[in-house]
Amino acid sequence: MNKLVINGGTKLKGNVFISGAKNAAVAILPATLLIKGVCTINNLPNISDVKIICNILKELGAKITWNNEHEITIDTSSISCTTAPLDMTSKFRASYYLIGSMLGRCGEIEVGLPGGCNLGARPIDQHIKGFEALGAKVELNQGKILAKAKKLIGTSIYMDVVSVGATINIMLASVFAEGTTTIDNAAKEPHIVDVANFLNTMGADIRGAGTDVIKINGVKSLKSSGSYTVVPDQIEAGTFMLAAVATKGDIIIHNCIPEHLDCITAKIIEIGGNVEDLGDSIRVWCNKRPNKATVKTLPYPGFPTDMQPQMGVVLSIADGTSIINESIWESRFQYTEELNKMGACITAQGKTAIFEGVKELFGAPVYASDLRAGAALIIAGLVANGQTELYNIEHIDRGYENIEEKFKALGANIQRIS
């Protein structure tokens, strides 16, 4: 079993380079199924979720060449199979993008129900509502989803909840639908814009991504060749921003888009940290104990739920009592029990947690319950007095590339032990 051993107490200093966005990559890769040809995707993060989805695409008949650890050339000219391997698809959440892509490409797909982080109930009713509105038949049976469509016809779809996954999935399914599809109350996250940009680069006609109304005018086919660069990871950049604040460090985060980080920047300034926009990089530093704050997670451009655990670590050592209201996921405070083992004083009930700020944390053996919880516990280990052993780090490897190497480059004392 791999673990991270962290000796805390170092103020982070120096430069870190952000990888391509996980949540964009895991949607763009299935989107290549809509191209009957070859395309090159670069700035892919070197993470396990990307490797799994590439393996699934190979099983469906795609040919993939890794040009280097961040770039693939993928040939989806011939798709030989419409059943995605159930054991692979049920390992991660974004396997649901195979449904939208394959409905568009082949009019048929069977996949396992998506897995991913355990954050409470993760329904896909809005995805199904969208596919059915476009004319598909969707059956759920014994942990599998079977979706079929003779023909997809554009229509208006109103999302009952703002859903990143459903917005992207309906976009994918409607690229070739006859006529115009309108998604109302769409999610606006940067990776939604990135998937739309990728599809438009390849010849799709998608307008309004990044606003709450997206219109997709169906096209007959996409280009048979092209290349695309994945957007930088907003959440990875935000994780390093909060690590700098928590450790009273001073770092420059390169290869990021500062506007995507506005909500995190605003909170950092509110709690007494400093942020300087340097164009395609951002400097973050903090000289004092953070102030208390109230945080509510919301769809973009609100404070991201995927930054909530990292912010929880900062507030656990803030001066005063803070409150976090988690409005997206019902079970995203599991990390607070681990933080309490490190000396934090957090009471979590339902979707609210109260953080009575303590002056210091202490190293302890702790367990990552999911991807972002794992990243948060690394930050806690960096702040704590003494040694922290962090287990279940395979969750972290799903979404962060070389995380310990990036922290080491900032001066952290962190080792991976196999």
**Residue positions annotated with a catalytic role:** 117
- Strand pairing class (225-229; 3-7): unpaired
Neighbours of 204 (CB within 10 A): 27
197 vs 305, which CB is nearer to ligand UD1? 305
Choose one: 136-144, 159-167, 205-213, 257-265; the region binding ligand UD1 (CB under 6 A).
159-167
Minimum distance of ligand UD1 from residue 9's CB (angstroms) = 31
Q: Which of residues 160-199 bind ligand UD1 (CB under 6 A)?
A: 161, 163-166, 187
Residue 12 gets which letter from DSSP? P
User: Binding pattern to ligand UD1, positions 60-99, x when CB under 6 A?
Assistant: ---------------------------------xx-----
330 vs 405, which CB is nearer to ligand UD1? 330
The answer to whether residues 218 and 202 touch, using CB atoms and an 8 Å cutoff, is: no
Q: Please identify which residue in 14, 15, 81, 125 interacts with ligand UD1, judged by CB under 6 A.
A: 125
Q: Please identify which residue in 36, 51, 122, 408 interacts with ligand UD1, judged by CB under 6 A.
A: 122
Choose one: 12-20, 76-84, 120-128, 357-365; the region binding ligand UD1 (CB under 6 A).
120-128
285 vs 333, which CB is nearer to ligand UD1? 333
Using the CB atoms, write b or e for 25-50: b if 16+ within 10 Å.
bbbbbbbbbbbebbbebebbbbbbbb
Nearest to 133 by CA among 113, 103, 98, 110: 103
Cα 66 to Cα 74, 100, 119, 201: the distances in Å are 9, 25, 33, 21
First-to-last C-alpha distance (Å) of the chain = 6
Minimum distance of ligand UD1 from residue 305's CB (angstroms) = 5
**Which position's Cβ is nearest ligand UD1?**
165
CA angle 261–267–271, rounded 5-degree value: 140
How many residues touch ligand UD1 (CB under 6 A)? 20
Q: Which of residues 280-339 bind ligand UD1 (CB under 6 A)?
A: 305-306, 328-329
User: How far from the centroid of its chain's Cα atoms is residue 9's Cα?
Assistant: 29
The answer to whether residues 325 and 295 touch, using CB atoms and an 8 Å cutoff, is: yes
Tokens of 94: 């974004």
Identify the residue whose tokens are 């290349």: 227
Minimum distance of ligand UD1 from residue 94's CB (angstroms) = 4
Choose one: 78-86, 157-165, 241-249, 278-286; the region binding ligand UD1 (CB under 6 A).
157-165
Minimum distance of ligand UD1 from residue 409's CB (angstroms) = 25
Residues in touch with ligand UD1 (CB under 6 A): 23, 26, 93-94, 122-127, 161, 163-166, 187, 305-306, 328-329
